[in-house]
Structure 1
Amino acid sequence: MFSVLRTLARWFALLGVFCAGLVALMTVASVIGRALFMTPIPGDIELTQFGIALCISLCLPWCQLRGGNIIVDFFTARASEGVQRKLDMLGYTLLSLMMALLAWRTAVGAVSVREASETTMILGLPMWITYAVLAPGLALTLVIALCQAARHDKPGTIDTAE
C-alpha cells in the first residue's frame, strides 16, 4: 500500500514540477514579448495562477510523504519519544481533516462553478477545470497523512517513505 502511495506521490510531484517549468517558460516568453514587441501572452496572469495552484496541489503529497512540512518543535524538543510520537500522530490526523475539508470543498466548488458556467476574464476558459484539477492532489495528501497517522504510533514506523 505504501509503495503505491509513494509511486503516486512521486508521479504527482513530477507532474507538478513539469507544470511549474511550463509556467516559468510562459512567463519568460510573456516578459520578452512585452519588452521587445509590446505583446505579452494574452491571459498570462490567469495561466500563471492556474499553473502554480496546480503545481502546489500536485507537490503536496510528496512533501507530506517526505516530511517536508514545517514542524515547530521548540516546546516539544525535550519531550519523550512517546510524547513526540503522539503529538506527531495528532498533527497527521489534523492535517488529514484539513485536507479532507479542502478536497471536498474544492470538488463541490468545481461542480458549482461548472453549473454557473463561469469562465476566466481574459481567455474565457472554464473555471471549473481549475478547481477540479486541485482535488486529486489534496485527496492524495489526505490519504498519505491518514496512513502516516495510523503508522506513527508504532515504534520504528515513523515515515511512510522508509
Structure 2
Amino acid sequence: MKSPLGRALRQSSLLFAVLGGGVACIVAGMTVTSIVMRALLSRPIGGDVELTQFGIALTISLCLPWAQLHGANIIVDFFTQALPERATRRLDAVGALLLAAMCALLSWRTSVGAIAVREAGETTMILDLPMWWAYASLAPGLALTALIALVQAARCLRGGDLIEN
C-alpha cells in the first residue's frame, strides 16, 4: 500500500501487531509465573484465567489487521487455481468485502456490547474487573481489519492484487 492511506494502514496495523505481541508476552509470562507459583507454593496468581482470556482476545484482535494486510489469513484456493486471473481477483474482492462486513459488524456490536455491559455494571467473577474493558478493547482491531479489507477489495476490483508487494 503505497498511497498515504496505505502507509497509514500499514503503520497502524504494525503498531497494533506490536501491541498485540506485547500483550501475548505479558500473558505468557503471567501464565508461567502462575504455574510455577501453583507448583511450588500452591498459590497461583488469582484471576489468571480471567486475565488470560482478556489478554488473548485482545492479542487476536490487535494482530488481525497485520494478518489481513499481509494475506496471512486462511485462503482456500484449491478450487480456484485453474480460474483466470480476473476471476480470481473478483473472488478475492468478494472475500475481502465479506471480511470487511463481518469485522465492521463485530466492531460495532462489541462497541454496543461494551456500552451495555458498562451500564449493567457487570464484572469478572474473581478479580471484579469491569467486563466492558474486554469488549471495548476488541473494537479497534476489528475496525482496522475491516478498513484494510475494504481497501483490498477496492484494489482487487480495480485489477490489482489483494496483497500489494
Inter-partner Cα distance in structure 1 for 2:142 and 2:23:
17
Inter-partner Cα distance in structure 1 for 2:163 and 2:90:
16
Q: Are positions 1:60 and 2:68 aligned together?
A: no
- Runs of 5+ unmatched residues, structure 1: none
Q: Are positions 1:43 and 2:47 aligned together?
A: yes
Counterpart of 2:118 in 1: which secondary structure? helix
Task: Give the aligned partner of residue 112 of structure 1.
Answer: 116
**What's the offset of the Cα at 1:38?**
0.5
Task: Give the aligned partner of residue 92 of structure 1.
Answer: 96
Counterpart of 1:74 in 2: which secondary structure? coil
The 5 Å alignment of 1:11-160 reads 11-155=15-159, 157-159=160-162
Task: Give the aligned partner of residue 12 of structure 2.
Answer: 8
Inter-partner Cα distance in structure 2 for 1:145 and 1:89:
9
1:106-142 CA distances to partner (integer Å, 9 max, x unpaired)? Answer: 0000000000000000000000010001000000000
1:10-60 CA distances to partner (integer Å, 9 max, x unpaired)? Answer: 000000000000000000000000000000000000000000000000000
Verify the 8 A CA contact 1:119 1:127 in the aligned structure 2.
yes
**What's the offset of the Cα at 1:160?**
5.1
Q: What is the letter of the counterpart of residue 31 of structure 1?
A: I
Alignment root-mean-square deviation, CA: 0.9
Q: Report percent identity of matched pairs.
A: 59
Q: Which runs of 4+ in 1 moved over 2 A?
A: 159-162
Counterpart of 1:123 in 2: which secondary structure? coil
Q: What is the letter of the counterpart of residue 70 of structure 1?
A: I
State the TM-score, normalizing by the size of structure 1: 0.97
Verify the 8 A CA contact 2:153 2:162 in the aligned structure 1.
no
1:75-123 CA distances to partner (integer Å, 9 max, x unpaired)? Answer: 1110000000000000000001101110011000000000000000000
The count of residues paired between Structure 1 and Structure 2 equals 161
Inter-partner Cα distance in structure 2 for 1:30 and 1:43:
10
